[in-house]
Amino acid sequence: MNKFLFCLGLVVAPFALIVRVHAAPSLASTAAEATPLAIGAHAPGITLSDINGAKLDLAVAFTEKPTVLVFYRGSWCPFCNRQLAALGELEPKLLALGYQVLAVSPDTADGLKKMAGKNHLDYRLLSDRAMDASLAYGVAFRVPLKTEESYRGHGIELAPIPGGEGTWLPVPTVFIVGRDGVIKFVFSDPDYKVRLSNEALLAAAEAAAK
């Protein structure tokens, strides 16, 4: 799968507008085969838990404010830490545009606390340990056994797939969702080292807010 960078009804320079039609999301065999929901799709209303265990229904949250919705791998991932810390620096500008920021990972509540504490984050982190949201948004993929064993050797326990069928992770992905619940912008790359820059995200947020 190539890098996804979509924005509904506009072009974010220097990238061209890309529109693809996707089938219903399913668990991908590899990160490269994951197919995130496309622009124009309705964002699923999954209920997740925040850092304090409080429940948040994404469908309700979307009606309150336009949303920057970020899927990341976990507090153990250095690339995720850098991305979320940078997002924290950008947050005041996003808030000024009327957005809220929500970040979703398979982390437990303890993992969310580690991520928030290390990076001094004010925006809301959500636990998707069951991977319901990651699956619904088309970003879930099965982790190769060798990779899983390597992570375990470093003390990283990935979220188990129900039925003992291995473990899974989300492909790092950024969605912009409007108050109508429609996805306006998507950035996703199967290479977990590649993340959306603050400059590109701000440009997309400004364009989607018009």
Measure Cα distances from 5 to 29, 88, 102 in Å: 22, 21, 19
**Structure tokens of 169?**
């992770």
What gap in Å lies between CA 160 and CA 138, rounded to an integer? 17
pLDDT of 201 > 80? The answer is yes
DSSP string, 23-56: -S---BSSGGG--PPPTTSBPP--EEEETTS-EE
| Calpha distance 107→81 (Å, rounded) | 13
Phi, psi (deg, nearest 5) at residue 16: -85, 155
What is the DSSP secondary structure assignment for residue 182, as one 8-state letter? B
What percent of the chain clears pLDDT 90, i.e. is strictly above it? 85
pTM: 0.89
69-100, pLDDT tens digit by residue?
A: 999 999 999 999 999 999 999 999 999 999 99
Q: What is the mean pLDDT of the chain?
A: 90
Q: Is the dihedral angle over the CA atoms 159, 165, 171, 173 positive or is it negative?
A: negative
Structure tokens at 50: 């925040």
Contact 142, 27 (CB under 8 A): yes
**C-alpha to C-alpha distance for 137 and 27, rounded to whole angstroms:** 10
User: 137 or 22: whose pLDDT is higher?
Assistant: 137
| Res 3: pLDDT | 53
List the structure tokens of 141.
């993929």
CA angle 118, 123, 129 (to 5 degrees): 75
Domains with residue ranges and CATH for the chain: 4-17+25-209 (3.40.30.10)
